Homo-oligomer: A and B are copies of this chain.
Amino acid sequence: MIKIGLYGYGNIARGVECAVKQNSDMTISCVFTRRDPSGLSTISGAPVYKTDSILSHKDDIDVLIMCGGSATDLPVQTPAMAEHFNVVDSFDTHKNIPVHFENVDSAAKKSGKIAVISVGWDPGMFSLNRLYGSCILPDGKDYTFWGKGVSQGHSDAIRRVDGVIDARQYTIPVDEALDAVRSGSQPELTTRQKHTRECFVVAEDGADLERIEKEIVTMKNYFDEYDTTVHFISQEELDRDHKGIPHGGFVIRTGKTGQSCENNHVIEYSLKLDSNPEFTSSVIVAYARAAYRMNKEGMSGCKTVFDIAPAYLSQKSAEELRKEML
């Protein structure tokens, strides 16, 4: 059994607990939190300890899954823990990945452990599809669309508007843009042409709805480059109709082959997810198995999904995979 430790206990950690139940070669051995452990009960029933005691639990952990946030937690925590454990994180601030990689890589090389960073669906499965697509069809172009799904960051931004009590924002890919991409015409698409944004907002009694709407749709970096629709609803409606955290999207690569580029090809990968964090956790768990196995084979250092042969993700042997899945 691969012993999985969880560092932090939020949505991702709970998703990992659910995912590990579906993988018969793994168990959740312990959970670490900065909060008071006595106030926390886990889905798996695994014991909870304070993060500062983690080094006394080294024998209980084959792979430590880092469940903190990308903004401030993971940049510090992943390199620190990679000095002692095989780790997997879901660091998703795309532009900071090169720096994060370097920090984690030097820690993991020192300890002889494997650290897999930026695991999930974007970065993660979407990245893989961008890579495979570009290698197969070099004379082509790829497009990533997100949604329909809840953007936590945009929902938070709306909540900071004066007079707003609660909000939920959906990112929605534009059908006409998807169709244009699938046609193989390799269109140049603006931000506005690719996605729309739909907001469900609970406002304070008597708030100036017109002002709130205007503040939302003109908000820099969040909404100003998009066509945005705002719906004012009650808290009851928000809780009833918008409590899920669905997401998904599309990676489409189109390209041409042939003596005079006469043949067109479309590769499309899409996800339709009822729960964004649970799917992310499910990807993380598969890569935790890979981290464990690669480290057993003597490998160390920081890896991404690009560096990991797919067979490492599976419980099945190489023979079984060739027989049943190739």
Task: Please report A residues at the B interface, Cβ cutoff 8 Å.
Answer: 15, 18-19, 22-23, 43, 94, 97-98, 101, 118, 123, 125, 127-132, 134-139, 182, 257-259, 262-275, 278-279, 281-283, 286, 289, 304-311, 313-315, 318-319, 321-323, 325-326
Contact = CB atoms under 8 A, between A and B. Distances in A.
A310 B128 contact: yes
Contacts of A269: 129, 267-269
A258 B18 contact: yes
A274 B256 CA distance: 9
Contacts of A321: 131, 306
A304 B278 contact: no
Contacts of A98: 319, 322-323
Given A135-B313, A318-B307, A322-B97, A18 B259 contact: yes
Contact of A131 (B123, B125, B258, B310): B310
Contacts of A15: 257
Nearest to A100: B322
B314 A135 contact: yes
A294 B213 CA distance: 56
A326 B94 contact: yes
Contacts of A283: 136
A136 B278 contact: no
A135 to B, nearest CB: 4
A135 B324 CA distance: 13
A245 to B, nearest CB: 9
A274 B278 contact: no
A283 B262 CA distance: 18
Which of A94, A279, A313, A326 has most B Cβ within 10 Å?
Answer: A326
Contacts of A323: 97-98
